[in-house]
């Protein structure tokens, strides 16, 4: 669910959208609560709650398999800091799959009732997430853009990475290090054949997309996301305890 901070970020994104004068024809989001709420808060703040919304599991966050439900300390204790970091940041190495008898197995949820069993992800690396997201881009988002519509995609760090990799043609070894700051609108201009238009305001490694908002706040938000994925080993934790003491 969205934290209090997340609600504030979503409302702030809506304010930036309104100030930019962006008007949407259709919105896309995942079937996960935090993305849906983020979209709703942003639309409310920008006076666009009337815009139609399409929800799809294909825009969900990456499925972390057997790591789902574990906090960082539990995960590191069980698998080791180095291995966990590989799973989190590798392009093509997925974590162990989630067991179907796990309380976190998505197949137990009503929102996935219409999916075939083989379509329900049990683990994913970023490469897998991209393979899941792109059919939705091709079938839903791209046709809307080609029809001249202005679209709003409210999703998650890794499903957004999938779209950015395609639009910007970002290499595999670069996309894994791209931080997607939460609650920060990223705007693209596209030609009629969906080629991205370069922006002088793009921040590397991006060349075409521009973030809305204060540059320092955007940088801090990206750094915060980066820190969320840092994994401490026993020595790091001991050092931190000494510093905190």
Residues flagged as binding site for substrate: 34, 61-64, 72, 88-89, 157-158
The residues near 158 (Cβ < 8 Å, ≥ 6 apart) are 61, 62, 126, 129
Instruction: Cite the annotated binding site by residue number.
Output: 34, 61-64, 72, 88-89, 157-158
User: Could you count the other beta carbons within 10 Å of the beta carbon of residue 230?
Assistant: 12
CA-to-CA distance for 11 and 31, rounded, in angstroms? 20
User: Could you count the other beta carbons within 10 Å of the beta carbon of residue 154?
Assistant: 24
CB 204 within 8 A of CB 177: no
CA distances to 89, 116, 127, 224 from 84, rounded to whole Å, are 9, 30, 17, 19
Its sign, for the CA torsion 151, 163, 64, 71, is: negative
Q: Supply the angle between the helices 33-45 and 4-20 in degrees, to the nearest 10.
A: 40
Bridging pattern class, strands 151-154 and 186-187: unpaired
Exposure of 89 in the CB half-sphere (CA atoms within 13 A): 18
């Amino acid at each position: 669910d969205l934290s209090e901070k997340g609600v504030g970020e979503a409302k702030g994104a809506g304010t930036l959208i309104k100030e930019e004068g962006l008007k949407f024809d259709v919105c896309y989001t995942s079937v996960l609560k935090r993305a849906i709420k983020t979209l709703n808060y942003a639309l409310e703040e920008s006076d666009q709650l009337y815009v139609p919304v399409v929800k799809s599991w294909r825009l969900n966050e990456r499925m972390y398999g057997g790591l789902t439900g574990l906090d960082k300390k539990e995960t590191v204790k069980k698998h080791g800091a180095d291995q966990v970091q590989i799973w989190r940041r590798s392009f093509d190495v997925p974590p162990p799959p989630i067991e179907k008898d796990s309380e976190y197995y998505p197949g137990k949820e009503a929102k996935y009732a219409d999916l075939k069993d083989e379509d329900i992800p049990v683990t994913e690396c970023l490469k897998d997430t991209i393979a899941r997201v792109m059919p939705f881009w091709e079938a839903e988002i791209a046709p809307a853009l080609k029809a001249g519509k202005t679209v709003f995609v409210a999703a998650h760090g890794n499903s957004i990475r999938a779209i950015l990799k395609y639009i910007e043609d970002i290499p595999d070894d670069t996309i894994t290090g791209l931080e997607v700051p939460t609650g920060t609108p990223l705007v693209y201009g596209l030609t009629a054949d969906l080629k991205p238009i370069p922006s002088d305001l793009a921040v590397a490694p991006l060349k075409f997309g521009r973030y809305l908002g204060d540059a320092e706040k955007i940088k801090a938000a990206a750094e915060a996301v980066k820190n969320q994925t840092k994994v401490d080993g026993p020595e790091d934790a001991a050092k931190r305890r000494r510093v905190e003491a």
